[in-house]
Amino acid sequence: MKFKSIALAAAALAAGLAAAPAGAVLIPLTQVELSGQGVGATFTTLFLQGAGSATTESGGVLFNGTPFGDAGGGASQTRTFTFADLALTNANQLALVLNVAEPGSENPPSVTTAASPLATNANLANAITLNVYSSAGALLEQHVAASGLTLNQVASGLGGSGIVFALDAAEVIQLNNTMAANAGNEVFTVGATFANSQGGPETISAIRLTQAVGAIPEPETYALMLAGLGAICFMSRRRGKRS
């Protein structure tokens, strides 16, 4: 399965990232430093920054694209998206990249995923939440990271650096089944809540998973590789018998 390869990438997760409790379905895989910096340089789905001296920031994006809570309101800061926007055809290709941008006075700069304290729409913004809507606006399902994850800053600045999150294998199947059962382009939004923040901002971008963890072979590629190895072994044995 593809996610066997992704599981190997999880071993590269840097020290300081707490292990995800059982039941987490939006899971941290690895850290990544991509080219391009700045909110506009990536497909930013959420820009989150607490007000004043607040140490908890919480917010997200509604189905109609309206930000709520501590989410930024710029068009390049918060947005909905579809698989077509990212040229995705399968749920196992989707990844979210969290860019922590805390002040340098914190050592190390970090935030902690937490439950949302918001009076409204809290269910859309717990920890890191991927919300899946039908094209008509019905909330079909949610995929949520574990609370209590300590997430360290990967690199200074906003944009292409951060921690990669993706669906686990069971959630990939669930989302693919949901999309197959609901005609039309599903609409996705992202919400999040971070405690122990020192002013942020934090951003979450949506990308194709292979951009973050390297080329992950398709099942067909594995089959071809195995067939090639088998052919090499067969030819080697024949030559051995002849000699």
Query: To which H or E segment does residue 182 belong?
Result: none
Q: Average pLDDT, stretch 70-88?
A: 88
Tens of pLDDT, residue by residue over 185-226, are 999 999 999 999 887 789 999 988 887 655 344 444 334 444
Between 145 and 17, residue with greater pLDDT: 145
Residue 8 confidence (pLDDT): 35
Picking from 227, 38, 58, the residue whose alpha carbon sits closest to that of residue 147 is 58
Q: Cβ(13)–Cβ(28) under 8 Å?
A: yes
Between 214 and 155, residue with greater pLDDT: 155
Tens of pLDDT, residue by residue over 52-75, are 778 899 999 999 999 999 998 877
Residue 24 confidence (pLDDT): 54
Read off the pTM. Answer: 0.75
155 pLDDT band, cuts 50/70/90, is: low
Cis peptide before 217 (omega within 30 of 0): no
Tens of pLDDT, residue by residue over 34-50, are 544 444 457 889 999 88
179 pLDDT band, cuts 50/70/90, is: very high
The phi, psi pair for 167, rounded to 5°, reads: -75, 145
